[in-house]
Structure 1
Amino acid sequence: MAETVVDRVARHPALNLKVIIVGAGVGGLLSALECWRKGCDVVVLEKNKDISLLGDFVTVPPSGISTFKLYPTMDEQYQKNFYDCTISIWNPEGKCLKRMFPEWRHVAEKGELPRASLLSRRSDFTRMLYDQCIRLGIPVYFSQAVQEIVEHDDHVVINTNQPGITLTADVCVVANGIGYPSTKDITGIDLPVLDSGYAIARMAFPRSSIPKGSLAHQLVENVDTQPEFRVYLSNDIHLIIWLTKDSGDGKAIESWHNLRESAVLVDQLEQKCSSWDPAVIDFMRRIPGQVVDWGLRSRDPVEQWTSAGGRIVMLGDAAHTFLPTAGNGAVQACEDAISIAECLRQGGKQGAPWSTRVYNKLRFERTSILQQTGFTNREELHYANLDEIARNPEISDIGFFKIGRWVWAHKPEAYAIENYQKCLDYLQTNGSSEFRNTNVPPGHVYRPWSMESEHARMTAGIRSDLKSNGDWSV
């Protein structure tokens, strides 16, 4: 039975279990909400002065918002900012080859899944989670950079950049991306962050800045009818234009690093393909301000996310770093948050070190497979047969156009409830009892991989068979 109700959110009985969360991003803030809801005492530490505005949009399918209905005020806010967005494939010359809604939309319409927006503004999504934390009274402390996390047998000590301030907790959840602390600091396994060899250029601005009557305005003039996630494909390049209703609040990004002029992007586009639609080129030239040159760094899958004593645990990008082409970074952080909270509830204060290990075991294979799709999706998008898609749009199950029911229909809370004890028995008996994860594609046989193995495969001209390993169908 729930013990209290705050802001219409029902809270489980108190566990007398204190959790300190490092990082106030998507994963960290949802972890705070879910751990609070499950009866934990929660504190969030964030090194920045406020909620970060970095990033433009995130993809969060139904699995990531599967518990939002339990936060009525936040869910109402989420639905208010809902984008019923289509996805479309275009060739460079400006011909639309295929347009569709996200795979899960027809299932959600039947009421079997929550109504999920394909895309959300990252800053809006994070602010929504933060606002809910404040309504519940969860402390979120800014300008608190963690300097050291020390694990003891029965507690964790966290030292920040504020002299003389030492915090203690039963569990520390590290959800601050690929920054400090490193995997070696937590697990003893040195797994460095590496240059992926890829980069993206990104910029967000209001469509009202595109002059009416210009060639570029042809791309945005019908957005009020239907927001669109438009993907232009050419050889070894893809261009995404997310067309949304104009809020008029586009902000400059002078505070970001590695800025460059839009003319540089135009030059690069024209080097890759000489037949771009003039409206696309005009659109790129009219980008106001400068563009972020975002070098993509990543890390090989790491199977261990916990410290030796189990009282420090990684979550989100700290545990599994995603390339943008995976389209899964934010949603898997959300799934992590939902899963860790339920595992801590089941283990309670005394069983917390085992709870983090169970969470790790329940989540690793699933996130590793989806990490790998970052390479597979990029390959499919960059080498798509556009002529074949034009002849038969039904075959264009490529990139993030093909996700699969196993991804978006997953219910991480229910999965943790159903599998916690079986997984715990497996871990405590060193694998002598039977346990196998079922939150992966049905029939999938997990194969370890690395960034090096993916690059070697692509260099050798071998196409990925990842999406034929198990059932990835709708």
Structure 2
Amino acid sequence: MPTKPFTFQIFTMSDTPIDPIPFADKAIKLDIVVVGHGIAGLVFAIDAKLRGHQVQILEKRPGLDDFGDVLALQASSLRSIKNGWPGFWDELQSLSLGSTLNLYRYDGTFLASPRIVSSDGLGFAVHRLDFHALLHQYALKCGVIIQFSMEVDKYLESPNRGAVVLSNGVRIEADLIVAADGVGSKSWDLVRNIKDQAVSSGYSVFRSNFPASPALENSPVLADEFQKSPTRGCAFMGPDTHIVMSKSRHRLGFLMTHKDPGNLPDTVPISTVLPYVEGWSPVVTELIKAVPDGVVYDWKLRWRDPQPGWVSPLGRLVQIGDAAHAFLPTSGYGASMAMEDAHSLVECLSHVEQQDIALALRVHNCLRFERTACAQKMGFKARELWHKTDWNSPIEDPTMFTRMWAPWLLQHDPEDYARKNFATCAQELRNGEQFQNSNSVPGYKFKMWTVRDLAESTNDGLEDEGEWFATE
């Protein structure tokens, strides 16, 4: 099936193809199928193609999503891109919404302006739609094959090949299958040999994005707020609800996290949304009222207990991104962790011969699991802080809302970490020993947790040893 033409042209990238980066060693060249055209799948596909692998992406949707949330791209997800993707970095920087997110109490009282940058100055926010479109175009430029309307019903493997079976019965084989198809991935049937279902987090997100010009022309409140800068992001926080709003050069968007009553359809009228923010700043209510068709999506937030294993029994399938570890939006780190996965996995594959693909996948899994599980838990901690604060009382220390982007999150380099630790981790896995990671929370000895554990901890507070948050 041919690749669907890319019609969301907002960039001016040259049509000159990107050549693979010359291999510096004897690394293998694989035939890889990526299931999922999201951020994890695209970043992995590009990185792998630049290393000389043959890559195709299968996506069940008919084309690019039009969701336009704001994403934080932390330094840990950007170092490999800045240094290793020819011609991409300048285009990406042109999408930046800045590195500061202004935080407000629900009534419009200013709280703080946390910056999402690392000590070397990397990190900024982007509009999801713009970033997704840029990744798509760059992947095509690199020679990645992208096929839409290709729904995977089943994952299979043999000792030498992985395979997927499409909804139309067609079977596609490859040396490696990368499941990047989100929290509902059917790959869990093969990885764990059970029908594993994601569970509700108890929250969902009203989300919408739309052209900015009509909204700004028709609302003096929005014009005053958003015409101060061509691009910006901000968040308003209140009792058990918060909303993140963004303006790119051409669009406005919002994500509003709220308690899930359990009975809302996937799309709701704004008359359902507005009661959640009654008495909030006019900026919030006016933005919701500006939705052109008066209807927003309600995205149910589902996640799983952390699963230590993301690799199939015979080592021909690996999960990345939300397929391996779903994140709450309050973590501010879901996209970056997905990108970290991609860079780590590609680096691990460069250290083995064809017969040792399974080892590369298991080393990658070992290097990544504890870090991602801690980052998931960080998202829960942030949501509790944002939603359980007594918003009707004075906020004595507004800086507490700025500390979620801690050094252990920002300073990491997943590609470099995999390169430096691959040999030791591989040897210890062969010997049945426990590899000690150093890419997670300082001072914290990792402990498994469950969604139920976190839910039950909300009444007592969630305390862990270690330096989870930034100190300033």
Indicate which of 3, 7, 10 corresponds to 2:21: 10
- Which shifted more, 353-362 or 440-449? 440-449
One-letter amino acid matched to 2:342: A
Partner of 2:466 in structure 1?
Answer: 469
Give matches, 1:344-423, under 5 Å. Answer: 344-384=349-389, 390-393=395-398, 396-398=399-401, 401-423=403-425
In structure 2, the partner of 1:322 is 327
| Structure 1 partner of 2:67 | 54
CA change 1:141–1:279 in 2 (3 A) is closer
Query: How do 1:138-287 residues align onto structure 2 when only pairs under 5 Å count?
Result: 138-163=144-169, 165-208=170-213, 209-211=215-217, 214-224=220-230, 227-242=231-246, 244-247=247-250, 258-270=266-278, 275-287=279-291
RMSD: 2.6
Q: Does 1:37 align with 2:50?
A: yes
Match of 1:333 among 331, 334, 338: 338
CA-CA distance at 1:391 after TM superposition: 4.7
1:280/1:46 Cα in 2 relative to 1: closer, same or farther (>3 Å)? Answer: closer
The answer for unaligned runs of 5 or more in structure 1 is: 110-114, 252-256
Percent of pairs with identical residues:
27
CA contact (8 A) 2:117 2:123 kept: no
* Alpha-carbon distance in 2 for matches of 1:363, 1:168: 26
CA distance in 2, matches of 1:246, 1:16: 40
Kept after mapping to 2: 8 A contact 1:85/1:229: no
**TM norm structure 2:** 0.86
Report if aligned partners of 2:71, 2:335 keep a CA contact under 8 Å in 1.
Answer: yes
Query: How far, CA to CA, are the matches of 2:380 and 2:468 in structure 1?
Result: 19
Tell me how far apart the structure 2 counterparts of residues 442 and 215 of structure 1 sit (CA, whole Å): 44
Deviations 1:374-407 (A, max 9, x none): 22111100123558875544xx223x65221111
Change (3 A) 1:206 1:16: closer
CA contact (8 A) 1:216 1:279 kept: yes
- Could you say if the C-alpha distance between residues 212 and 124 of structure 1 is closer, same or farther in structure 2, counting changes exceeding 3 Å? closer
* SS of 1:52 mapped into structure 2: coil
Secondary structure in 2 aligned to 1:350?
helix
- Are the equivalent residues in 1 in contact too, given 2:76–2:414 (CA < 8 A)? yes
Distance in 2 of aligned mates of 1:66 and 1:214: 40
Q: Call closer, same or farther: CA 1:285–1:157 in 2, change over 3 Å.
A: closer
Partner of 1:116: 123
Secondary structure of the structure 2 residue equivalent to 1:30: helix
SS in structure 2 at match of 1:297: strand
Contact 1:158 1:167 in 2 (8 A): yes
Report the residue type matching 1:260 in the other structure.
Answer: V
Is the CA contact (8 Å cut-off) linking 1:219 and 1:279 kept in structure 2? yes
Tell me if the contact between 1:191 and 1:300 (Cα under 8 Å) persists in the aligned partners. Answer: no
Change (3 A) 1:187 1:377: same
Distance (Å, rounded) in 2 between the aligned partners of 1:38 and 1:96: 46
Deviation, structure 1 residue 55: 4.9
**Cα distance per residue 1:188-240 (max 9 Å; x no partner):** 2553211111111111123321346634433223133xx43322222222222
Shift of 1:264: 2.2
Q: 1: distance between equivalents of 2:164 and 2:281?
A: 55
Task: Provide the secondary structure at the position in 2 that maps to 1:378.
Answer: helix
In 2 relative to 1, CA 11–472 (structure 1 residues): closer, same or farther, beyond 3 Å? Answer: farther
Name the SS of the counterpart of 1:176 in structure 2.
coil
Q: CA deviation at 1:121?
A: 1.9
